[in-house]
Structure 1
């Protein structure tokens, strides 16, 4: 991809990004008042989170890289192919570490070339795809989804006495400390 004179993004710690992805999305909960459903991931022991009320077909429609679309091999298919090839050449299944590396390789192999597009173009494309999948206007559907949720049911720290907040924080710190040798802000949020 040509840089088109754009500044390069600052490097970031991938562990911090990964931890953000694993945490329940509290900011979105507060901003929109949505609720979440935990979901099992195909290739991960970590819990995924989906917004309640979003149909599986819509989620799948926006998972084109994972599942493959338009005749392209998806990440899952490429990972299966690489794991099968490993089994054939080694006569055994790969270890968890090797399998993770093969899945990373599959992710890179299936990554399409980047094309610079404006946020307006991307948003219009996403809205069009969602509308086609839902069979109704995506914006109207989203407004109905958010409007039916009880925004006042969200528990905030100021709804609890400070002593209770401190007690809960101590429990969270103890649990995270028992599960992880190193951790950060987003591990606490999870």
Structure 2
């Protein structure tokens, strides 16, 4: 499958289940390979990923519900919990700070570059999982859940949580995407 076809298949799947098309080991290996391949500025390798499956995945989403004290509907949280796993995306603030010190003239850019690299990683993982027949969505419950996630999974304090990516078997396909006039956002200059 080419990159354009893969990106076209990458959608937000909200009706997911615990029936993966691949084994937990295969999903984990796929995520590791993507993390290895995605580039970042100055080769800083600031991205960190934790992937939780099974009971740990369920515990994560039950804990997210508890942290919000019912302010997020249980049905919404349960739709993510219904999946087989969740990828947690972080960047390592210690790595970023070390490069800020080493390259002081670029210091202000390193947090921006860490976020950019993390965004590329999220898209790449999302697309790779979809190529494997897995439904995925991207969620942003941070910074409200940051401390809970760190305590649940012994995540180092210097890791900054960026996003949560629940995934699983596909219960149903999402509706058609709304088409936009892409010329409103893209200029081609000759």
Specify which structure has the bigger relative contact order, considering alpha-carbon pairs within 8 angstroms and separated by 6 or more residues: 2
Normalised by the size of structure 1, how large is the TM-score? Answer: 0.20
Flag the structure with higher strand content.
2
Flag the structure with higher helix content.
1
Normalised by the size of structure 2, how large is the TM-score? Answer: 0.20
Compare CA radii of gyration and give the structure with the larger one: 1
